[in-house]
Structure 1
Amino acid sequence: MVSLEQVKKTIQQEIPDAEVVIKDLTGGGDHLEAIVVSSQFEGKTKVKQHQLVYSALQAELQSEAIHALALKTYTPSTWSGLKS
């Protein structure tokens, strides 16, 4: 099992400006939700945004340390609009 903090740090290594929130959806540590906000997502489709995050977590996903990942990605402007 991988810790929520490890998942956050792994994403931030690949996407340095990312604001990341990781939630454990089941209490077992292997079904997670990641909310990622980054300027690197500007001009990219949701698929491309998600691919950036999946790329960062490739080792954890292949080893099944993370069994399921619900992913929500936002640009900073979209994120600030949601919080308003």
Structure 2
Amino acid sequence: MAITAAEIESLIRDSFPEARITVQGDDGQHFAAEVVDESFRGMNRVQQQRAVYASLKGKMDGSAGELHALALTTRVPG
């Protein structure tokens, strides 16, 4: 079952309601996302990305995952 960019954004927004989120991609499996959020302050890049991946609630888990690939950029607002 394919997933949409809007669905990905909604999942991320549930965990990061104040974030600036951009999700691109339209093939249903491969996407790129940028998440800019103040809550990332003090976290290293790996911690930031793990937090975002956790917000996807298993959508990327194994071969049965709806989301095959997500190129993820995270940062603190500048």
Q: Taking structure 2 as the reference length, what is the TM-score of the superposition?
A: 0.89
Unaligned runs of 5+ in 2: none
**Aligned residues between the structures:** 75
Deviation string, structure 1 residues 57-76 (Cα, Å, up to 9, x no partner): 13211242110110000111
What corresponds to 1:81 in structure 2? none
- 2:65 is aligned with 1:76: no
Q: Which residue identity is paired with 2:28? A: G
Aligned counterparts of 1:3 and 1:43: Cα–Cα separation in 2: 31
What corresponds to 1:20 in structure 2? 21
Unaligned runs of 5+ in 1: 78-84
Q: Taking structure 1 as the reference length, what is the TM-score of the superposition?
A: 0.83
Aligned counterparts of 1:28 and 1:6: Cα–Cα separation in 2: 13
Moved over 6 A (4+): none
What corresponds to 1:39 in structure 2? 38
Other structure's SS at 2:21 match: strand
Aligned counterparts of 2:57 and 2:29: Cα–Cα separation in 1: 14
What corresponds to 1:82 in structure 2? none
Structure holding more helix per residue: 1
Taking only the aligned residue pairs, the percentage that are identical comes to 29
CA-based RMSD of the aligned residues comes to: 1.1
Aligned counterparts of 2:19 and 2:60: Cα–Cα separation in 1: 20
